[in-house]
A and B are shown apart, each in its own frame.
Chain A
Amino acid sequence: MLCPAFYDSVCKITNFYEGNEVHKVSKHILKNGLTVLLKEVHSAPIISWWMLYRVGSRNEPTGLTGASHWVEHMLFKGTEKYPPRLLDRLIDRQGGTWNAQTFFDYTAYYATMPADQIDLPLEIEVDRMINAKFLPEDVESERTVIISERQGSENSPLFWLGEEINAAAFRVHGYHHEIIGDLHDLQTMTRDDLYQHYRNHYMPNNAIAVAVGAFDTETMLSRITELYEGVPAGTPPKPFMRPEPPQSGERRVKVERPGTTAFYEMAYHAPAGNDPDWFKLAVLDSVLTGPSGLGGGSIDNKSSRIYQALVKTELAASVSGSLIPTVDPYLYTISASVRQGRSIDDLENALEMEIDRIRQERISEAELYKAKKQARALFAYSTESVTSQAFWLAFCENFADYRWFEEYVQRLEAVTADEVLEVAQRYLRPQNRVIGTFIPLAMDTPTAIVEENHAYA
């Protein structure tokens, strides 16, 4: 029946704050290699079901950029058992919500349903793991949809800037291209390219399944085993690994397009999500730009150092930071929109002073305490929704282990001011960064033109 679980079946502990029962995650590996994580949450009669495949844009070679995301779209185009219109109809009709997301490191599908309807996505997901059709006419129809999706993103100046920064930061590694892919590849990729990508990566032994919600673990595991264990394991995909060599000097990119506002981004190479340094940088980010949310909403950052240095001094209109846990080392990025009438040089100088300061002086104990309390609050917000909890368990299992999420607050609590200083000195070096600027070229002020005689037959 089942391979030995990593942990004993569900264990219950008493919640310290309200006396409610809190269930631990149980982890199981089916005979075909499918990893299954289950967590009971009985606060609402709903269940979130996720299927994450260990394939994302980092796995795509030149010429096939965007394949993972395109395959994701094709899985909504139906199978013999579930024709395309029927899929959406069945989920909505049962009061569920479903979608999918493609990231650098994974492609994930999810459905959150009223608890008594969870069998539907369980059945759909196992079916499309192996039976997606990839009809040539559907591939062609979706080609223009995806190009339209890319063009929608291109309407934002920040898309162009982000694309150039990643290309500059990752000369070798697969993080160098946008998840949606390069336009040329989207125009030339074939149906067979996509189908091969699907067959190479969609198999139980390359997937993580997660359920969080109002179920009985034993019953749920039994049903998952019944549905999924018959799917044969595949030949694991050959890892597509091209490690990024160390950067040996600051790189700068400039994007010039019609626009009205200048943007500035400073991106440092950062450790992977499972590196102990990641948590130290997370505390540093909280001090510099404010805490990052975990899917339960974010909070303001007006007391953060860089807000105070850039926005309060009227150099920038807004600032933010981004540190994402990834499989391979990615980037820690500080972004700012330049206030009208202010110069990028002045903004950069002020930012440099803050970077120098955090590389030279320990953060205060008050700042450290604040970062930890913020982490505790944001973690609490993120666990209110079963969808968010299931996402984080699947996401973390992919780059580290699901316990990364469970131990998030505890590991941040353990960070010291000395460690923050260490990572500031190790990572926030000029030689380790890419600086990107968006320079707006003059454009006409948009003026509406009333058009006549446009009745359609």
Chain B
Amino acid sequence: MPTLNLLQDVPNQSNIARVELPNGIIVLVYENFDTQSVVLSGTLLAGAIYEDVEKNGLASLTASALMRGTLRRDFDTLHHLLEESGADIGISAGTNKLGFHGKALAEDLPLLLEVLSDVLRYPAFPINHVERLRGEIMTWLKYQQQDTRRQVGKAFREQLYAPDHPYYYSTRGTLDTLPTITIEDLRQFHAMFYRPQGMIITVVGAVTAQDAIQTVERYFGDWQNPDYAVFKTTPTATTPTEIKRVFVPVSGKTQTEILLGVIGPSRSAPDYYAANMANSILGQFGMMGRIGEVVREQSGMAYYASSRLEGGYGPGAWTVSAGVNPTNVEKAIPLILGEIQRLITEVVTDEELDDNKRYYTGRLPLQLETNEGITGVILSMESYGLGLDYLLRYREIVFNLTQADVLAAAQRYWQPNCYTLAIAGPEIK
């Protein structure tokens, strides 16, 4: 069977075309003629971090409203254009950035970029469509009230972060803030924060780099926004110094969700890789790591029990989650805490470390199989400043990690009896 020649096959500085347009847009293209499609993905500096707290949901509503009509095309025209070609564009605002993603048959890349340019640059925010959209989001927010996973996530977030931190809030807003956002708010937010500076566009698929770059230039090259707003960075956050426990009763449910965690490293933190390795051993590798072993395999208490390290642009959370029968909540939590305690007091075994190093490097070909997978990796390289040679260095980064690195990272973020614990489910009478 063939083997993977990493140095030759992975996207890197020699096969990714990267240009910066005069207006500041960074374009990255990777040719992949093994497929018939093309994928584009990118970001703008227009996330929820730029909205005021009392207008929570503004960045998200603005992003969602882009596809509701432009100065040139109404709602139906936009969607007919895309859907009759089997193409799709999705735009949403996260906390730090606005993200967009599009997919089409390769022949329709110009269509994809033309529509993307139209909606990002010339949205009309038609009032009837914005009100319709607002109602859809309000219905969704109302639905979240009975969703135990959403409720446990909300309670956890609001305990882990202070109200002056952007991660305290949901980007979608609340049933209280969403009705207060006006059309004028959307227009102002768009005018201030939608700009070519800081924008990244990646294109991957059956298109030449030259054609892709020229097409991006055609639709975005003349974009200027003189009302240039300042860049914001995500503030730091303080990890819990005590146990904070919160319970959200949700009636009519048969399973309880547990979410326990602390502040973790950002994607660009020096110890991110070590923490990520610790997280994999804690609750990812094999059948959900050590957590899966004790909570699911040995105790049979949960269908899922795993850990997650958010990473990202700011101080995201490092969490353990499990869904258990309400009567098992108090049995599952000590098992989880026992594994965290073990992680911060004992070095991981040679075998565990070796297994996980192979896991991280061995799965690269799978991650790079599709246009979507490649796009995601290239966007991360650019967004987090990893360098286009990142995948060439990746094996060295992973294999240089030591047991001491992993222990130090775990100890840095987890301390005994210092965590936030949220539980959502039916009340036990």
A interface residues (Cβ-Cβ under 8 A, vs B)? 17-18, 20, 42-47, 76, 84-85, 88-89, 92-97, 112, 114-119, 140-149, 151-152, 154-157, 214-215, 219, 257-261, 290-291, 297-304, 311-312, 314, 317-318, 337-340, 366, 369-370, 373-378, 380-381, 383-386, 440-441, 443-452, 454-457
Contact = CB atoms under 8 A, between A and B. Distances in A.
Nearest to A445: B145
Contacts of B358: 93-95
Contact of B251 (A85, A114, A146, A258): A258
23 contacts: A43-B34, A85-B287, A92-B285, A93-B358, A114-B362, A115-B4, A116-B2, A151-B323, A151-B325, A155-B255, A259-B252, A261-B143, A297-B372, A299-B86, A373-B84, A374-B84, A374-B86, A376-B86, A445-B145, A446-B250, A454-B245, A456-B333, A456-B334
A45 B2 contact: yes
A44 B369 contact: yes
B83 A446 contact: no
Interface string B326-339: 00000001100100
A76 B288 CA distance: 13
B351 to A, nearest CB: 9
Interface in B228-285: 243-255, 285
Contacts of A112: 366
Contacts of B287: 76, 85, 88
Nearest to A143: B300
B33 interface: yes
Contact of B362 (A93, A144, A312, A450): A93
A118 B365 CA distance: 13
Interface string B402-419: 000000000000000100
A377 B286 contact: no
B381 interface: no
B243 A318 contact: no
A10 B358 CA distance: 34
B301 A370 contact: no
B296 to A, nearest CB: 6
B86 to A, nearest CB: 2
Interface stretch (B73-81, B218-226, B312-320, B383-391): B73-81
Contact of B33 (A18, A84, A85, A156): A18
B46 interface: no
Contacts of A76: 287
Given A93-B355, A151-B255, A450-B244, A115 B3 contact: yes
Interface stretch (B49-57, B131-139, B161-169, B209-217): B131-139
Contacts of B252: 257-259, 441, 443
Determine which residue in B2, B159, B301 has the highest number of CB atoms from chain A within 10 A of its CB, and name it. B2
B142 interface: yes
B87 A148 contact: no
Contacts of B245: 450-452, 454
A152 B84 contact: no
Contacts, number: 270
Nearest to A141: B300
Contacts of B206: 17-18
B303 A152 contact: yes
Closest 4 CB pairs of A and B: A95-B362, A377-B86, A258-B252, A43-B34
Contacts of A383: 36
A377 B254 contact: no
B370 interface: yes
Given A44-B368, A303-B84, A95 B361 contact: yes
A337 B138 CA distance: 12
A340 B139 contact: yes
Contacts of A444: 249, 251
Nearest to B106: A17
B79 A300 contact: yes
Nearest to B292: A88
Given A92-B359, A214-B1, A448-B246, A45 B365 contact: yes
B202 interface: no
A260 B248 contact: no
Contacts of B158: 448
Nearest to B34: A43
A261 B155 contact: no
Given A115-B1, A148-B303, A151-B325, A312 B365 contact: no
A22 B370 CA distance: 17
Given A118-B1, A454-B421, 19 more contacts: A76-B287, A85-B287, A95-B359, A115-B1, A116-B1, A140-B300, A141-B299, A147-B325, A151-B325, A152-B255, A258-B146, A290-B83, A317-B140, A337-B143, A339-B136, A340-B135, A374-B83, A377-B86, A384-B369
A207 to B, nearest CB: 23
Contacts of A261: 139, 142-143, 146
B43 interface: no
A142 B299 CA distance: 9
A83 to B, nearest CB: 12
A302 B79 contact: yes
B355 A89 contact: yes
Interface string B368-383: 1111100000000000
B367 to A, nearest CB: 9
Contact of A260 (B9, B146, B304): B146
B103 interface: yes
Contacts of B147: 155-156
Given A20-B34, A146-B303, A317 B136 contact: yes
Contacts of A119: 1
A373 B111 CA distance: 15
Determine which residue in A84, A375, A443 has the highest number of CB atoms from chain B within 10 A of its CB, and name it. A443
A148 B255 contact: yes
Contacts of B140: 317
B307 interface: no
A89 B369 CA distance: 22
Nearest to A154: B254
Contacts of A85: 286-287, 293, 297
Nearest to B88: A299
Interface string B1-24: 111100001000000000000000
Contacts of A42: 2
B82 interface: yes
Given A89-B355, A384-B369, A448 B1 contact: no
Given A141-B300, A144-B301, A446-B145, A337 B139 contact: yes
Contacts of B149: 155
A140 B298 CA distance: 11
A188 B158 CA distance: 42
Contacts of A340: 135, 138-139, 142
Contacts of A97: 363, 366
Contacts of A116: 1-4
A94 B361 CA distance: 9
A42 B159 CA distance: 50
B369 A46 contact: yes
A119 B3 CA distance: 13
A114 B4 contact: yes
Given A142-B300, A317-B140, A454-B245, A155 B254 contact: yes
Nearest to A153: B255
A353 B266 CA distance: 53
A141 B255 contact: no
Contacts of B293: 85
Contacts of A339: 135-136, 139
Nearest to A76: B287
Contact of B302 (A148, A258, A385): A148
Contacts of A375: 86
Contact of A291 (B34, B86, B250): B86
Contact of A89 (B154, B155, B286): B286
A449 B247 contact: yes
B28 interface: no
